[in-house]
Amino acid sequence: MKKTIILFVLCSLCACTSEVERLAVSNQEQAINNYISTQMTADTTIRMVANNGSYRLIITPGNAPEAAAGDSVRFYYIAYVFSKGKGMVFDTNRDTLGFLPQVDNGQGVVGIGQYIPGLDNGLTGMKTGEKAELIFPASQGFGNMAVGLVPPLSALLFEVEMVSVKN
């Protein structure tokens, strides 16, 4: 009987946590859509590309080649906790603002799971010289985990400049 009660409580907590996560992601997606709409209204030259839950606002278009799964890329980034726009900076490879140990120096291979899903999806399709904002909910980022300065269930925004793509 005691094991049954404990199991019931654990299952209830998991269901509650799952519902909290779904609600948080739903609210984040609404905030992201509002942010995108505001940005595109303010600057009609901005284009938006969606890829598996990640959104890319193209600020400055790039030139070929376009990054595809398996391509080596090099890019600059500033990473923010998204809060109806650019919130707190939590990492960058642009200058000395990096608060996390540099696990990622902005070089790697896209489309193979080397990056969190939202960043991977956002980098895929970028062209050399392109400047963009990659925005995605917690489900495409760190999920329900706190990582460094990033609280659990945080949407993220990355300002990215693609330096090179090697097919």
Q: Which helix (H) or strand (E) holds 28?
A: helix 2-42
Question: Cα–Cα distances in Å, from 156 out to 41, 64, 119, 133?
Answer: 21, 27, 9, 10
The 3-state DSSP class for residue 127 equals strand
2-166 belongs to CATH 3.10.50.40: yes
pLDDT tens per residue across span 55-114: 999 999 999 899 999 999 999 999 999 998 899 999 988 765 444 444 456 788 999 999
Q: Using CB atoms within 10 A of its CB, is residue 105 exposed (0-12), middle (13-18) or buried (19+)?
A: exposed
Q: How far apart are CA 29 and CA 23, in angstroms?
A: 10
φ/ψ of residue 146, rounded to 5: -85, 130
pLDDT tens per residue across span 115-130: 999 999 999 999 999 9
Dihedral over alpha carbons 113, 115, 119, 124 (to 10 degrees): -50
